[in-house]
Structure 1
Amino acid sequence: MQPYQGRAGCTPRAPAGTSPAAFGCRREEPSRHVRPVPLPATRQNLNYAYPPIFWVDGCADAGAPCAPAPPVAPFPPPVPDRRKKPGSRTERRSVGFLVMFLLILVAFTGVGLSMYQIFHLEKELDELRESASAEHIPPALEKLIGQKQQSLRKEARKGAHLTGNPAQQDLPLEWEPISGHAYTSGIQYRDRGLVINDTGLYFVYSNILFRGSACDSQLLSHVVYKRNPASPGSLVLMEDKAINYCTGQRMWARNSYLGALFKLRKRDSLHVNVSKIALVNFEESKTFFGLFKL
């Protein structure tokens, strides 16, 4: 009989004088081999070093089956950069500017569309008016309306404004009908007066500035009168007289203004008289004469 060898990897140990079969065998604990786990190639060149990680090989020898290697612990993720916080003030301001720009753009677009629609509607309305007037107004009535409008425009333009003319030596006063502020429209200037061509209501006005280097207390008079070939003589329309208007031997000036509404007939002519031509200041802004039809 061969001596008892025990199970593989077991060595019987029994006290002297005792049969090995009476005792179990103790398994020889294999020696543990510690092997370092190599780091991945992507981590070996980092400036900071991770602590080495080891795992224990439980195999006693090369012939024995080995336990599976424990999983390698994953490396920690890189530390995020905390200098830039998401949703910073600059980003919020940019978003606010963008929203404001879009709102302004929408507002201008709405205004432009509204103006275009208004212009289009006005154009259509004008076309409708033209078509309606062409279809419903008879030619005779249209001609009558045109003549009436033309006569109204002519009546509205009837008026005259004359300015002082220093190149004169007798009465009534002579005026400037063309140059400067002077004009005549629908009214004739003839024989130093304004001639009425159409009967109606007229507002007549006249302004005279008297001035002198010394006060002699003589009477100042300013008269507007009319004539008509159908009636002899003249008729005073407005008159202004002044006495005691200056004192002492000093320069003086006095303004005389006349203005009123009159019903004038066709062929009436209006004129202006003063007490003394030498005392009249003939500047166009100080001495003038005119009328206009209402």
Structure 2
Amino acid sequence: MRQNLNYSYPQIFWVEGRPNLGTSCPSAPPIAPFPPPVPDRRRKPKNHTERRSVGLLVTSLLILLALTGVGLSMFRIFHLEKELAELRESASTERIPPALEKLIGQKEQSMKKEARKAAHLTGNPSQRDLPLEWEPTSGHAFTSGIQYCDHGLVINETGFYFVYSNVLFRGSVCSNQVLTHVVYKKNPTLPGSHVLMEDKGINYCMSQKTWARKSYLGALFKLRKMDSLHVNVSKIALVNFEESKTFFGLFKL
């Protein structure tokens, strides 16, 4: 007995590439499209025009700085050349600025004033009388601002002076004679003379052999204008007149 087997197969439909099983299903919501990619902000697009502008600006500044330095150097050189030209012109015409000339004049006057007030006299072996006569110009002797007159030094300006005198006595026979060395002053406005320094030598030799004795005097005095200073000894024959042994002088402080 033939059985009529009727199988009912489900109907399948393809909708938009997907099979439709024939069952009623709720429609799925549409899928939203993907958002556009976010640009990477860490990488900026290269702007060649901007870089070129910055490079030109830096180059311009460097060139301007170099030109400024060159200009300042040229100005300095020009200024130095101008000063050198003025100095050459001043030297050629022997002109000195008034302020510098005044300063030099004051300095010269001060130096002359200091250099004038001094004298150093040395022994004169040709003398025979007292007070001692001196050599004022030869060898180490000189006078500056002090006059040598009548065997003495004449003061022309009141002030403080250091006065010194050195005498070397020498003999071949020992005796008991007292050796005297005196520096004294005179003034035409005052009578007589006034002793400033004195040295006396006793027992300066112990035998009959040749002997020598040095006598030095030196001190500070206030001297007046027209004072004259002289040196006297007890016996002129015993004086050694070598310029390094016997001398007389003074200088103003």
- TM-score, normalised by the number of residues in structure 2: 0.59
Q: Which residue is 1:100 aligned to? A: none
Deviation, structure 1 residue 237: 0.5
Asked if structure 2 preserves the Cα contact closer than 8 Å seen for 1:226 and 1:234, the reply is yes
Match of 1:288 in 2: 247
Contact 1:228 1:268 in 2 (8 A): yes
Once the two structures are TM-superposed, the CA of residue 156 in structure 1 deviates from its matched residue by: 1.1
The change in CA–CA distance for 1:148 and 1:265 in structure 2 (over 3 A counts) is farther
> Which residue in the other structure is 2:112 paired with?
154
RMSD: 2.4
- Return the offset for 1:155: 2.1
Number of aligned residue pairs: give it: 162
Quick one: which amino acid aligns to residue 202 of structure 2?
A: I
Matched AA of 1:279: L
C-alpha distance in 1 between matches for 2:242 and 2:97? 54
What letter corresponds to residue 107 of structure 2 in structure 1?
A: Q
Superposed, which structure 2 residues align to 1:83-122 within 5 Å?
none
5+ residue gaps in structure 2? 1-79, 88-95
After TM superposition, list the pairs within 5 Å mapping 1:1-294 onto structure 2.
Answer: 148-157=106-115, 158-294=117-253
SS of residue paired to 2:237: helix
Q: CA deviation at 1:220?
A: 0.3
Please state how far the C-alpha of 1:172 moved relative to its aligned partner: 0.3
One-letter code of the match for 2:186? R
Q: What is the CA distance between 1:250 and its match in structure 2?
A: 1.0
Q: Which one has the largest radius of gyration? A: 1
Residue 134 of structure 1 deviates from its aligned partner by 5.5
Separation (CA, whole Å) in 1 of partners of 2:129 and 2:97: 60
1:146: how far off?
6.1
**Using the alignment, how far apart are the partners of 1:134 and 1:234 within structure 2?**
52
The aligned residue for residue 80 of structure 1 is: none
Report 1 or 2 for greater relative contact order, CA contacts < 8 Å, sequence distance ≥ 6. 2
Partner deviation per Cα, 1:20-48 (whole Å, 9 max, x = no partner)? xxxxxxxxxxxxxxxxxxxxxxxxxxxxx
Gaps in structure 1 of 5+ consecutive residues: 1-119, 128-132
Contact 1:154 1:186 (C-alpha < 8 Å) held by counterparts: no
Alignment partner, residue 9 of structure 2: none
- Cα deviation, residue 148, structure 1: 4.3
What amino acid sits opposite 2:201 in the alignment? A
Q: What is the CA–CA distance in structure 2 between the aligned matches of 1:270 and 1:148, rounded to whole Å?
A: 31
CA distance in 1, matches of 2:171, 2:250: 28
Secondary structure, aligned partner of 2:112: helix
Residue identity opposite 2:112 in structure 1: K
CA offset digits 1:234-289 (Å, max 9, x no partner): 11000000111111211100000000111111111000000000000000000000
Paired residue for 1:85? none
Q: 2 CA distance for matches of 1:292 and 1:221?
A: 24
In structure 2, C-alpha distance between the alignment counterparts of 1:155 and 1:241, rounded to whole Å: 36
